[in-house]
């Protein structure tokens, strides 16, 4: 890493951090289950460490910095004492995979990181602090290792974490003296007497910090104490004399080496200039949007993040003048950015303000107008509605679906949408979690979402008083128009233009229509189901109490741990910060190996409780018409799959009887005849057969028999009639598992067989389906070369970790490379099918309507007399969504409830 040596200044402040110590504290301070990427990479340690680093840089304003790390090799202390640090628990895999991520963060921020074989981070820090003092620099050390207290003096201060890594105590000489009763130079001697459990350095039995400090003060240090050890009275004196050898050993081992040979000296550790694009890329992969904003607010990159704001000529119109303004400023060659304020969701919305800003290539000005819908006269209202509905006039919005719902509530239709800047950014950067307009404007346009000042320093638009909101909205409209242009160029380079214009943008309107329609629910049936589940929940709670012989809170992990591992003595599961895990997977495995009735009752109680909470959340969501309106999101899953929220209809389990009962609460609404469901039969497997071109797999589909039985027959060399349910289940898991990047270990867990058995099963499978094996190998190799995978419609998923030095991250990226083309292609096909069906419904003038898309399933409300026509139309449009080598097949069912319509 390039660094620049500088002549020390009396105001120079060197910040040194103990990397492993702080990262480990961050790991245990933040629950790993709450900090991970959508791809499953844990990030709690790197998040906590980075957050702490930003705070310290903000608060301390160092001029120089370095982070020291331990190495895996033994140190000189291990040579002196072979039991040094023995007995430490194995480093959690979730932590180990994050160390390299912390390295990447530091490298991206241009923060030097140092490590030396044979030495610990403390030794590096000690060496640098001594050198800094000699150079006239002040030093701050951030570490969770108390051994560093021996370094404290008037020029060296320790920042010691007292709660996770978010709260740091300032330990100067006075603070060390106050806390331990000895000055910093005596702390090493105190630690030798008391011992250090984490380093496996036992102290004198019965001697704590107060006694040790009293001895050291009375005898003026350890040397004099040793010389006069016979004077120490009582049991403590006897123990000291008995363990004097280990005290002297501790004192030797605790000594920090201040003469480690380093390539860099403190003057060469000046703060580097970091690059915003590198930070963008890294923080995108880590999905640290908020942390990135904090970083930008704290530190300045090499170049200013925002060069300028936006110049907008916001014009004030007289009543009745809107039509003329639209004719003059939004004609051929223009693209108009549209921004709205208001509220939307649950299938409806309200518009409180609209801003339009028109751009045209080659023209410098950006005319804009702000409209208050409540103040429009009839002519202006008519002109606005006609303009919005004119498909020939290009418009760009950010997150357009909500505004579409709000406009529809006013009786206005939006057509001519040529860009949704959030959707376009999602296709360009599918790994991000959010697509905030201000963030995208900074990233792509290097501007802030604000009005620009002119040469005189005055804002180009009036941003004061009651005009401020209007000015802000005009700026947003202008920003959307410009951002749409540059994102168009980016998507063209990425080969995603067609995907945006022919699939994602048209789908916005279709999803808005489904959200507006909603689906009817039977509130009484749901209320009855909630009561039934509450009774089952109580029953399981009582049975669990009876199995243990006392009451306890089944919802408290701490109490469940106490019951299972302390009172019942069951084998301990994976260790966590708070004890031993009691998650469902761990308890299920425990119940299989060491059955106990309470385990079954706890698991059943959790299952029923979850279902009850789902039902309870659904009941108040119904509107006055008795319909629930979910919200679909196109920008969550990197694979392109839709998700739904409020309620999350993908969260309703359908493999249990109770889950299916929840679906019975969704019913056909008044004025319609029935519900109809349609989905693809084994779409992922058909896509796998198509992509791999495996002839044996294609032939299994052509056989028109049970696919899993046919493939099991080939793998096991048995006639189809001899394939029993267990053999079929094994191959079914294999068929679907390969489509989702399942490893041999994952297959073993799923089938509850050994990894070796699972590996053998995979080998047998690949002997019959060699084309699948070759495809899976080649798709990873190609993705490693290209940096991304692609679906059949060109949806890319970028996987930079395919070339990572971190094995866990690399293997995770390989699994994503295996499943992204299959899952993503399935998502693409279902979206195309939705568009085709929606268009056909309109062309045929049917009253029947599409209500939901959940995974690969479409749900319709059937108008009276239209079922036959609708079924034919759906089958034709879904089967023809894409031509696969293993042709798409559609299954359908009808009924009065969603569950009755299952097939």
pLDDT single digits (tens) 418-451: 999 999 999 998 877 778 898 899 889 988 888 8
pLDDT of residue 457: 41
Distance of CA 707 to the CA centre of its chain: 35
Question: Distance of CA 758 to CAs 252, 665, 749, Å?
Answer: 52, 40, 9
| Cα–Cα dist 762/708, whole Å | 15
Residues of the chain with pLDDT under 50: 1-6, 302, 454-464
pLDDT of residue 306: 61
| Cα–Cα dist 163/142, whole Å | 13
H-only helix segments in 518-554:
523-548
3-state secondary structure of 675: strand
Cβ pair 437, 487 in contact under 8 A: no
H-only helix segments in 703-806:
707-716, 725-739, 744-751, 755-768, 770-786
Q: Options 3.40.50.300, 3.30.420.10, 3.40.50.970, 3.40.50.12280; which CATH number does 308-518 get?
A: 3.30.420.10
pLDDT of residue 327: 93
Neighbours of 567 (CB within 10 A): 13
Contacts of 363 (CB under 8 A, 6+ apart): none
pLDDT of residue 1: 40
Q: What is the pTM of this model?
A: 0.78
| Cα–Cα dist 310/567, whole Å | 67
Question: Distance of CA 213 to CAs 176, 180, 310, 414, Å?
Answer: 12, 7, 65, 78
Please name which of 891, 886, 877, 876 lies closest in space to residue 833, comparing C-alpha atoms. 877
What's 422-447 look like in SS3? HHHHHHHCCCCCCCCHHHHHHHHHCE
pLDDT of residue 10: 57
pLDDT of residue 363: 65
Which residue spans of the chain are classified as CATH 3.30.420.10?
308-518
Cβ pair 451, 309 in contact under 8 A: yes
Region at 727 (left for phi over 0; alpha for psi -120 to 50; beta for the rest) = alpha
Please name which of 367, 308, 377 lies closest in space to residue 336, comparing C-alpha atoms. 367
pLDDT of residue 307: 64
Q: pLDDT tens digit string along 736-779?
A: 887 677 777 777 877 777 888 888 888 888 888 889 889 999 99
Contacts of 659 (CB under 8 A, 6+ apart): 611, 652, 653
Neighbours of 29 (CB within 10 A): 17
Say if residue 647 is preceded by a cis peptide, omega within 30 of 0.
Answer: yes
β partners of residue 367: 313
Phi then psi for residue 359, to 5 deg, are -125, 155
Cβ pair 740, 817 in contact under 8 A: no
Residues 820-856 as b or e (16 or more Cβ within 10 Å = b): bbbbbbbbbbbbbbbbbbbebbeeeebebbbbbbbbb
Contacts of 557 (CB under 8 A, 6+ apart): 578, 579, 582
Contacts of 721 (CB under 8 A, 6+ apart): none
Tokens of 44: 């709690």
Interior angle at CA 181, CA 180 and CA 184, nearest 5: 70
Tally of CA atoms within 13 A in the half-sphere of 381 that contains its CB: 10
Query: How buried is 118 (Cβ within 10 angstroms: 0-12 exposed, 13-18 middle, 19+ buried)?
Result: middle
What's 133-144 look like in SS3? HHCCCEEEEECC
Distance of CA 483 to the CA centre of its chain: 25
| Cα–Cα dist 120/148, whole Å | 12
Does CATH place domain 13-173+257-268 in 3.40.50.2300?
no
Cβ pair 128, 262 in contact under 8 A: yes
Which residue spans of the chain are classified as CATH 3.40.50.1010?
13-173+257-268
pLDDT of residue 362: 60
Phi then psi for residue 3, to 5 deg, are -135, 160
């Amino acid at each position: 890493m390039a660094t620049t040596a500088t002549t020390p200044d009396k105001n120079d402040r060197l910040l040194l951090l103990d990397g492993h110590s702080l990262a480990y504290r961050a790991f245990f301070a933040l629950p790993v289950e709450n900090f991970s990427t959508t791809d499953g990479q844990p990030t709690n340690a790197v998040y906590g460490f980075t957050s702490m680093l930003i705070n310290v840089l903000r608060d301390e304003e160092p001029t120089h910095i370095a982070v020291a790390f331990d190495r895996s090799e033994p140190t000189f202390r291990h040579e002196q004492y072979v039991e040094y640090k023995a007995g430490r628990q194995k480093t959690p895999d979730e932590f180990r995979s994050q160390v390299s991520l912390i390295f990447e963060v530091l490298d991206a921020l241009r923060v030097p990181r140092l490590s030396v074989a044979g030495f610990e981070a403390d030794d590096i820090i000690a060496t640098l602090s001594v050198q800094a003092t000699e150079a006239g620099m002040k030093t701050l050390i951030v570490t969770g290792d108390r051994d560093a207290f021996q370094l404290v003096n008037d020029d060296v201060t320790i920042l010691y974490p007292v709660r996770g890594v978010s709260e740091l105590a300032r330990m100067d000489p006075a603070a060390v003296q106050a806390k331990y009763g000895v000055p910093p130079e005596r702390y090493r001697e105190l630690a030798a007497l008391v011992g250090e459990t984490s380093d496996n350095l036992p102290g004198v039995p019965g001697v704590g910090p107060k006694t040790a400090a009293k001895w050291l003060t009375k005898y003026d240090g350890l040397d004099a104490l040793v010389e006069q050890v016979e004077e120490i009275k009582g049991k403590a004196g006897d123990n000291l004399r008995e363990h004097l050898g280990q005290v002297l050993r501790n004192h030797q081992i605790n000594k920090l080496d201040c003469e480690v040979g380093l390539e860099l000296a403190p003057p060469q550790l000046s703060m580097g200039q970091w690059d915003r694009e590198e930070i963008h890329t890294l923080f995108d992969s880590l999905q640290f949007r908020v942390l990135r904003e904090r970083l930008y607010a704290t530190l300045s990159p090499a170049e200013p993040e925002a060069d300028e704001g936006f110049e907008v000529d916001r014009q004030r119109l007289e009543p009745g003048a809107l039509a003329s303004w639209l004719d003059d400023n939004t004609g051929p060659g223009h693209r108009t950015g549209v921004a709205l304020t208001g509220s939307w969701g649950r299938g409806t919305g309200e518009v409180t303000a609209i801003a339009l800003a028109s751009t045209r290539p080659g023209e410098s000005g950006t005319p804009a107008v702000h409209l208050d819908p409540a103040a429009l006269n009839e002519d202006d209202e008519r002109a606005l509605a006609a303009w919005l509905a004119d498909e020939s006039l290009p418009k760009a919005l950010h997150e357009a679906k909500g505004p579409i719902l709000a406009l529809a509530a006013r009786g206005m239709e939006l057509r001519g949408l040529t860009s949704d800047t959030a959707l376009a950014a999602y296709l360009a950067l599918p790994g991000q979690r959010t697509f905030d307009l201000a963030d995208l404007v900074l990233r792509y346009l290097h501007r802030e979402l604000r009005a620009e000042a002119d040469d005189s320093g005055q804002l180009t638009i009036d941003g004061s008083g009651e005009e401020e909101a209007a000015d802000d909205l005009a700026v947003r409209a202008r920003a959307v128009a410009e951002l749409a242009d540059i994102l168009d160029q980016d998507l063209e380079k990425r080969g995603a233009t067609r995907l945006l214009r022919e699939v994602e943008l048209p789908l916005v309107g279709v999803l808005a229509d489904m959200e507006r329609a909603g689906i009817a629910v039977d509130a009484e049936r749901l209320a009855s189901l909630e009561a039934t589940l509450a009774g089952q929940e109580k029953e399981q709670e009582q049975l669990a109490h009876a199995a243990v012989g006392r009451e306890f809170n089944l919802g408290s992990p701490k109490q469940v741990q106490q019951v299972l591992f302390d009172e019942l003595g069951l084998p301990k599961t994976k260790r966590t910060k708070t004890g031993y895990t009691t998650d469902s997977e761990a308890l299920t495995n425990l119940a299989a190996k060491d059955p106990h009735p309470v385990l079954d009752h706890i698991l059943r109680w959790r299952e029923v409780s979850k279902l009850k909470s789902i039902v309870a959340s659904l009941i108040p969501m119904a509107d006055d018409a008795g319909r629930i309106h979910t919200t679909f999101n196109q920008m969550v899953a990197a694979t392109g799959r839709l998700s739904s929220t409020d309620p999350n209809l993908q969260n309703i389990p359908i493999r249990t009887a109770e889950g299916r009962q929840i679906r019975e609460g969704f019913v056909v609404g008044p004025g319609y005849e029935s519900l109809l469901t349609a989905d693809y039969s084994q779409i992922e497997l058909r896509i796998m057969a198509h992509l791999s071109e495996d002839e044996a797999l294609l032939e299994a589909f052509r056989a028109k028999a049970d696919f899993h039985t046919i493939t099991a027959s080939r793998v096991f060399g048995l006639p189809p009639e001899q394939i029993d349910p267990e053999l079929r289940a094994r191959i079914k898991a294999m068929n679907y598992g390969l489509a989702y990047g399942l490893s041999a270990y994952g297959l073993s867990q799923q089938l509850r067989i050994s990894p070796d058995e699972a590996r053998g099963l995979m080998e047998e499978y690949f002997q019959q389906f060699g084309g699948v094996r070759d495809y899976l190998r080649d798709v990873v190799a190609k993705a490693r070369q290209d940096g991304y995978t692609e679906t059949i419609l060109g949806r890319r998923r970028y996987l930079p970790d395919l070339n990572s030095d971190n094995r866990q991250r690399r293997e995770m990226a390989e699994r994503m490379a295996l499943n992204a083309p299959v899952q993503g292609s399935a998502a693409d096909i279902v979206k195309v099918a939705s568009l085709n069906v929606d268009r056909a419904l309109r062309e045929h003038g049917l009253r029947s309507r599409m209500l939901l898309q959940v995974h690969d399933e479409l749900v319709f409300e059937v108008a009276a007399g239209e079922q036959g026509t609708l079924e034919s139309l759906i089958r034709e449009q879904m089967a023809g969504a894409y031509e696969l080598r293993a042709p798409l097949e559609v299954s359908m069912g009808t009924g009065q409830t969603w569950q009755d319509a299952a097939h």
